[in-house]
Each structure stands twice: as C-alpha cells, then as structure tokens.
Structure 1
Amino acid sequence: MQFSLFYFDGDGSRRNPDAYRLLLDSARFADENGFQALWVPERHFHAFGGLYPNPAVIHAALAMATKNVQLRSGSVVAPLHHPVRVAEDWAVVDNLSGGRAGVAIASGWTMEEFVLSREPHGFRRTLMWRSYDEITRLLAGEAVVFEDADGNEVEAKTLPRPLQPRIPFWVAGQSTETFVEAGRRGINVLCSLLGETLDDVAPKIRAYREALDRAGHDPDAGRVAMMVHTFLAEDPETARARVIGPFSDYLRTHYHLLESLAKSMKLDVRLSDFSQDDLDSLLRFGVEGFMNGRALIGSPESCRPMVEALAEAGVDEIASLIDFVQDRELVMGGLPHLAELAKATAGVRRLEAV
C-alpha cells in the first residue's frame, strides 16, 4: 500500500499571504517522509477550494519545493481545455520536476465550470476521452490535427517534450462504465468513497481489472488510488475530538456530500426541506457517517483495519485528503502519525487479479 496527500479545500475568497502555507509545508513533509504523490484538483468558482483553479500552475511551484514526490492533477477537467494547452502545461511540470508529473483527467461536474468550454455539458464524458486520446498523442511527440478559427485544419506538435517517455494517466470516476473504459484503455483509476461504501466500489475495481485483462493489459499493472478523508492523532479519541468541529464546518460548506452520504444509506434527503436545527442534526449524523468506514480518522493502530480493507477491495494507493481541516497546526501535527501508519502498512498488499 502506498500513501499520498490529496488537496481539495482552502479559502480563496480573501487576500491571505499564508493561503498556500499548509500546501507547501505538507508537500515538503510528504517529500521527506516517503509519500508517493501530491494530488491537486481543478476547482472553479468555489470560495472553499478556490486555491486550486489550475493544478499545473500549483505543481510548477511544488516542483521547486520538492525533490522526490510525484506531482499529479486530481484532476484536470479535460473538456474545459484545449488538448494542446494541457499537453504543454504538463510537459513543463514534468521538466521542472525532473520527470515526476502525473495526470488524472475528469469529465467535470457543475454547469458553472462549463463557461470555460464551448462544448455542451451533456457531452462531457465523450469530450474527456477524445481529449485524453489527443493529449497522450501530443505528449508522445505526435502531430495532431485541429481546426483553427477559420475552420482550416492545422497540424500541431507541442513543446517542450516531457522527460518521461510516458506520463502516467488516471481517470477520476465513480461509474462502473468509467472503470471498465479505463481498463480497456489501460490507464489508472482515481476514485473515492463520496456517496458510496467500500462494498459499492469493490465490484467496480474487479470490473476494471477484468477489463484490463480482456483488452490485453496486465490486470495487476493498473493502479487504483482511493481518495480518503484523513486525520490521525496519538489515539482515536483525540483524533475524533480534534476533527469533529472542523469536519462539521467542512460539511456545512459542502452540503452535496451530506446528500450523497444520505443517498448511499438509501435515504431520500433534500436539504432545502430542512430547518437549521435539522441541518445541525444532519451534520452530526454526517460526521459520524464519514468517520465510520469512509475515512481514516483515528490512530495509526485503529486505522490499520481500514487500510487492510481497502487493500482487500483492490486499492493500491490511499490518497489522503488532509485540507478539509482548515487548521495548519492540527494538520501538520497529524502528519507524523499518518507517516507512521504508512510505514506500518507498507507490506499490506491487494490480492493479485485472477
């Protein structure tokens, strides 16, 4: 089992000279303590999450602050960008980092984001796969034909060339269809437990490995990274006491996560129907729901069974989402315990695909 750090939140709505301090400090910690990667998202028009509109720009900076850890998007929303732009940006990151770039692609989520695209929101999955094909060809040094503003066909070859012969790719997905398509194409998968249980995701991972095998790829070579909300302390009680307030605040700004959690529990919930007291009760319910079976919150010892369960489900890497706690001192204080867990479970392996 490998461990990496995942970033998702951060208040970008105000001027703050220390806005990226947690990112930089935790990145250096990961780099010096054997973590596999840093995942930075692409998020637009969110006050919380507004620190990460462009993962390539962030990773260009992190390339200068780190030496070992891989630098990955989590994810590039491919339909929002021209493939040439994506290929050029990530080739630069690969060069600046000495060959440590990795790209996860996503189809996009909200309609608001698609002000950046000339294509309809409803075609986003088709656009994502088309962009993936074009980006990988460009990164391989091939010429790809595009239309200019007048409708003329133009051959494009991007520079600089990346240092890696092939930058690794993931696709962010929740549907079985996406897992299977990733297997058919022979790329990695980035997934999460948002709105699902591990029992829901495990069959999709099996379908992914079966698709790898059918397409002639090594079913054991595909990598599955699971994003998991993570906060560790010296004992489970301390971890829960420290995280319950920040976690409640986090869910308060991300009500859609509560709705997804309720849906996974077969509850028909519409938050618009709730009073404030009801929402406060639901928040407490949501925190408990996330901390039980959907998160790594506790001590290194108490979290080990969750790591083993993830491995049994077919997960190769735990992408620990750490910045849902908007307190630098708390987060940095928990990272040594996460490093301890990573070291203690380094020998935990998923079963090889049959």
Structure 2
Amino acid sequence: MKFSLFYFDGDGASPSKDRYRLLTESARFADDNGLAALWVPERHFHAFGGLYPNPSTIHAALAMITKRVQLRSGSIVLPLHHPVRVAEEIAVVDNLSGGRAGVAIASGWTRNEFVLSREPHGSRRSLMWRSYDQLSKLLAGETVPFEDADGSVVEAKTLPRPVQPRVPFWVACQSTETFVEAGRRGINVLTALLGETLETLTPKIQAYRRSLEKHGHDPASGTVTIMVHTFLGADADEVKANVKGPFSEYLRTHYHLLEGLARSMGLDIALENFSKDDLDSLIEFGVEGFIKGRSLIGTPEGCAETVEALGDAGIDEIACLIDFVQDYDLVMGGLPHLARLAKIHAGRVPLAEAV
C-alpha cells in the first residue's frame, strides 16, 4: 500500500499571510519521509477550499521545494478548460519537477463552476472524455486540430514537451460505468468512500480490473487510489477529542459529504428539511460513521485493519485528506504517525520496530 497527502480544504477567505503554510511544510515532510504523492484539487467559489483554484499553479511552487514526491492534480475539471492550456500547464509542472507530474481528471460537480465553460453542464461527461483524448495527443507531441472563434481550423502542437514519455492519468470515479471506461482506456482511478461502503465499492474495482484485461491492459497495472480522511496520533482517545469538533464543522460546511454518508447507511435524507437540533444529531452520527471504517482516524495500530481491508478490496494507494482539521500544529504533529503507518504497510519494518 502506498500513502500520499491530499489537500481539499483551507480557508481561502482568511486574511492570514500563512494560508499555504500547512501545504508547503507538509509537502516537505512528505518528500523527506517517503510518501508517494501530493494531490491538489481544483475548486472554485468555495471559501473553504478556496486555496486551490488551479492545481498547476500550486504544483509549480511545490516543484521548487520538493525533490522526490509525485505532484498530482486531483482533479482537473476538464470541461472548464481548453485542452491546449491544460497540456501546457502539465508540461511546465513536469519540467519544473523533473518528471513528477500526474493528473486526475473529472467532469465537474456544481453548476456554478461552469461559468468557466462555454459548454452546458449536462454535456460534461462526454466533454471530459473528448478533452482527455485531445490532451493525451498533445502531451504525446501530436498535432491536434481546433476551431478558432471564426470557425477556422488551427493545427495545435504544444510546448514545452513533458519530461515523462507518458504522464500518468487518473479519472475521478463514482459510477461503475466510469470505472469500466477507465479500464477500457488503461488509466488509473481516483475514488472515495463518501456515498457508499467498501462492500459496494469493491465490485466497481473488480469491474475496473476486468475491463483493463478485456481491453488488452495488464489488470494489475492500473492504480486504484482512494481518498481517506486521516488524522493519526499516539492515543486514540486524544485523537478523537482533537478531531470531533473540527470534523463536525467540516461536515456542516460540506453537506454533500454528510448526505453521501447517510445514503451509504441506507438513509434517504434531504438536509434542508432538518431542524438545527436534528442536524446537530446527524453530524454527531456522521462523525462516528466516518471514524469507523471510513477513515484513518486513530493510532497506526488501530487503523491497521482498515488499511488491510482497503488493500483486500484492490486499492493500491491511500490519498490521505489531512486538512479537514484547521490547526497547523495538530496536523503537522500527526504526520510522523502517518509516516510510521506507511512504513508498516510498505512491508519495510515490523509493527513493533516502526518509528
């Protein structure tokens, strides 16, 4: 099992001059302690999450302060951008980092984001795959035709060229259909336990492996990466006490996560119909639900069973969401425990000897 860091939150409306301190210092930690990658999302119009409107901009900076760790966009919303611009930015990051760029693509979520697109929200999935095909050709050095505003065809070939012969791609997956299409195309998948359980996710991973094999790809070659909320420490009770308040506020801010968790537990709810007291009770229930089996919240020893279950389901990499706790010292203090967990499950050292 590989472990990486995933950034999703962060108060973009804060007046602080140190908005990116957690990002940069945890990136240095990941680079020095053998973690696999740093994942940065594309998020627009979110006060919490507003630190990350453009993954390529962030990774250009991280390339300057890291040497080994992979720099992955998770995910670029392809329908919002022209493929030429995306190809150019990816290639710049790959050059600045010496060949460490990786990219997850997504079709998009909220309608508000599509103020950046000339295409309708309803066409986003087909547009994502069309843009991916164009992007792949551009990164491979091929010429791709595009129409300009006057309807004239322009033969585009982007520069600079990436360092890597083939930049690795993931696609954000929720539906079985997307898992199967990822297998057909031979690219990796990025998923999460937000609206389902590991029991419902496992058949989708199996469908992905079958699709890889059916379409001539090595079924073991595809990487399945899962986003998991992570906060580790030496004492489970202390960890829970530190996490409960921040995670409650996190769920209150991100209603879709709470609704998805409820659906995965068989509850069909509409949060707009909830009173404040009911919502408080549901959030407390949601925190407990995330901690048990859907997160790496606790001690390295206590989370070992969850890591093993994820591995048994066919998952290759855990992308640890670390910034849902908005406390720099607490998050950084937990990272050595994450590094220890990574060493344990990389098979390098026995549990008793991991430090």
- With the shorter chain as reference, the TM-score category is over 0.9
Amino acid at match of 1:333: G
Where 1:38 maps in the other structure, the secondary structure is: strand
Residue 323 of structure 2 is matched in structure 1 by 323
Where 1:52 maps in the other structure, the secondary structure is: coil
Give structure 1 stretches of 5+ with no counterpart. 349-354
Partners of 1:61 and 1:196 in 2: how far apart? Answer: 35
Report how far residue 14 of structure 1 moved.
Answer: 2.9
Partners of 2:233 and 2:169 in 1: how far apart? Answer: 33
Q: How many residues align?
A: 348
Report how far residue 255 of structure 1 moved.
Answer: 1.3
Q: Give the % identical residues.
A: 74
Where 1:229 maps in the other structure, the secondary structure is: strand
Bigger mean CA deviation after superposition, 8-17 or 320-329: 8-17
Partners of 1:255 and 1:11 in 2: how far apart? Answer: 17
Any residues of structure 2 matched to 1:28-43 within 5 Å, and which? 28-43=28-43
Q: Does 1:103 align with 2:103?
A: yes
Amino acid at match of 2:278: D
Residue 53 of structure 2 is matched in structure 1 by 53
Q: Does 1:160 align with 2:160?
A: yes
The runs of at least 4 consecutive aligned structure 1 residues that moved more than 2 Å come to none
Amino acid at match of 1:25: E
Report how far residue 196 of structure 1 moved.
Answer: 1.0
Amino acid at match of 1:151: G
Partners of 2:128 and 2:166 in 1: how far apart? Answer: 19
Report how far residue 253 of structure 1 moved.
Answer: 0.6
Residue 177 of structure 2 is matched in structure 1 by 177
Partners of 2:127 and 2:246 in 1: how far apart? Answer: 37
Residue 93 of structure 2 is matched in structure 1 by 93
Q: CA RMSD in A?
A: 0.8
Residue 280 of structure 2 is matched in structure 1 by 280
Report how far residue 15 of structure 1 moved.
Answer: 2.3
Where 2:10 maps in the other structure, the secondary structure is: coil
Residue 63 of structure 1 is matched in structure 2 by 63
Any residues of structure 2 matched to 1:168-247 within 5 Å, and which? 168-247=168-247
Residue 351 of structure 1 is matched in structure 2 by none
Residue 118 of structure 2 is matched in structure 1 by 118
Bigger mean CA deviation after superposition, 257-266 or 215-224: 257-266
Give structure 2 stretches of 5+ with no counterpart. 349-355
Q: TM-score, normalised by structure 1?
A: 0.97
Report how far residue 141 of structure 1 moved.
Answer: 0.3
Where 2:303 maps in the other structure, the secondary structure is: helix
Bigger mean CA deviation after superposition, 107-116 or 236-245: 236-245
Where 2:64 maps in the other structure, the secondary structure is: helix
Residue 290 of structure 1 is matched in structure 2 by 290
What do residues 271-291 of structure 1 show as CA deviations (whole Å, max 9, x unaligned)?
Answer: 111111111111100100111
Report how far residue 264 of structure 1 moved.
Answer: 1.1
Report how far residue 195 of structure 1 moved.
Answer: 1.2
Report how far residue 235 of structure 1 moved.
Answer: 2.2
